[in-house]
Amino acid sequence: MPTLTAKVSQSVDFIGAFDPKIRTFDIIMKTANGSSYNSYIVRGSAGVAIMDTVKKEFSEDFFLRLESLCDYEEILYIVLHHLEPDHSGALEELMSRAPQAKLIISNRAVLMLKGIIKSDVAFETANTGKTISLGDKTIEFLSTPFLHWPDTMSSYLHEEKVLFSGDVFGSHYYDERLFDDKVGDFSYAFKYYYDHIMRPFKQYVLQALNLYSRFDIQTIAPLHGPILRTNPQYYIEKYEEWSSEEKFRKHTFGKKMLSVFYMSSYDNTHKMAMKIMEGADSIEGVVASMYDLASLEENNMIDLLEESDAIIIGSPTINGDAVKPAWDLLSCMAYLESGGKIGAAFGSYGWTGEAPEMLHDRMQWLKFRLPAKPIKIKLIPTAEELEECFDFGAHVAEIAMGKMVEMEI
Q: For binding to ligand FEO (CB under 6 A), which residues are involved?
A: 82, 84, 86-87, 148-149, 167, 223-224
CB of 293 to ligand FEO, least distance (A): 31
Cβ neighbourhood burial of 137 (10 Å; 0-12, 13-18, 19+): buried
In Å, the largest CA–CA distance within the chain is 82
Q: Where are the alpha helices (DSSP H) in 182-312?
A: 187-193, 202-212, 232-244, 248-253, 268-281, 298-307
Which CB, 54 or 258, lies closer to ligand FEO?
Answer: 54
CB of 322 to ligand FEO, least distance (A): 31
Which CB, 84 or 175, lies closer to ligand FEO?
Answer: 84
Which CB, 167 or 385, lies closer to ligand FEO?
Answer: 167
CB of 164 to ligand FEO, least distance (A): 13
Which CB, 170 or 347, lies closer to ligand FEO?
Answer: 170
Which CB, 61 or 354, lies closer to ligand FEO?
Answer: 61
CB of 193 to ligand FEO, least distance (A): 9
Sheet holding 6-9, edge to edge: 6-9, 12-14, 40-43, 48-51, 75-79, 102-106, 123-126
Residue 360: partners with Cβ closer than 8 Å, 6 or more residues away: 343, 344, 345, 370, 373, 374
Are the CB atoms for 37 and 223 separated by under 8 Å? yes
CB of 329 to ligand FEO, least distance (A): 25
Tell me which residue has its CB nearest to ligand FEO.
84
Helix, coil or strand: residue 124? strand
In angstroms, rounded to a whole number, what is the distance separating the alpha carbons of residues 373 and 98? Answer: 58
CB of 84 to ligand FEO, least distance (A): 4
Residue 394: partners with Cβ closer than 8 Å, 6 or more residues away: 279, 280, 282, 283
Which CB, 224 or 271, lies closer to ligand FEO?
Answer: 224
CB of 90 to ligand FEO, least distance (A): 14
Which CB, 223 or 355, lies closer to ligand FEO?
Answer: 223
In angstroms, rounded to a whole number, what is the distance separating the alpha carbons of residues 91 and 52? Answer: 8
